[in-house]
Amino acid sequence: GNVILNLSKKLAEYQQAVNWSGAACFELGIVTSRDPDTILSPAVSLFRDVGPFELADEVVTDKTPQLVIEVASTRDRQQSLSGKLHQYRHRGIELVWIVDTSSKSVLSHAAEGEEHRYADEETLACEKLLPGLELRVGDLFEDPSWWK
């Protein structure tokens, strides 16, 4: 819904503004383990040092994104997050953002174990991975005026 629309617009603007060498992929399957194969498909995966269209035709990848964004929009999705976080950490993903549509907040999980919940009036940033990107959390949930 609105979260993905707003995120995609903000990420595209950021990529153009700073000439970011990376790719944002939506619903791309990420292999988190083998034997047995486990694949998770977060709402958004961000890859550094990947061409903007390198993964465009992929359904699943073995590449490790630096950031994944999950949208916890239903009870089922919220209940499965603990297991997903464990798998993302095991895979070596540096940062996981969980967008909680019920509380209109974002929970940030860093690989080092650091957690922080950002409320709707706060600004979400990640200078290490996406220098200069700033997202006001509340803006993620707004009806996009540009979409109408």
The answer to whether the beta carbons of residues 52 and 85 sit under 8 Å apart is no
- Among 14-28, 46-60, 71-85, 122-136, which stretch is predicted with the lowest mean pLDDT? 71-85
Convert 68-82 to b/e letters by CB count within 10 Å (16 or more is b). bbbbbbeeebeeebe
Q: What's the whole-number mean pLDDT along residues 41-60?
A: 91
Q: What's the pLDDT tens digit per position in 113-142?
A: 889 999 999 999 988 889 999 999 999 999
List, in sequence order, the alpha helices (H) in the chain.
Answer: 2-18, 75-79, 81-91
Per residue in 95-109, pLDDT (tens digit) is 999 999 999 999 999
pLDDT at 148: 65
Structure tokens at 133: 């990107």
State the pLDDT at residue 41. Answer: 95
Asked if 44 and 7 touch (Cβ cutoff 8 Å), the reply is yes
pLDDT band at 85 (very low <50, low <70, confident <90, very high): very high
C-alpha to C-alpha distance for 78 and 70, rounded to whole angstroms:
10
pLDDT, mean of residues 30-38? 93
What global pTM score does this model have?
A: 0.91
Q: Are 146 and 2 in contact (CB under 8 A)?
A: no
* Total Cβ atoms within 10 A of residue 124: 18
Residue 147 has pLDDT above 80, yes or no: no
Please report the DSSP string for 70-106 in residue order.
EEE-SHHHHHTHHHHHHHHHHHT-SEEEEEETTTTEE
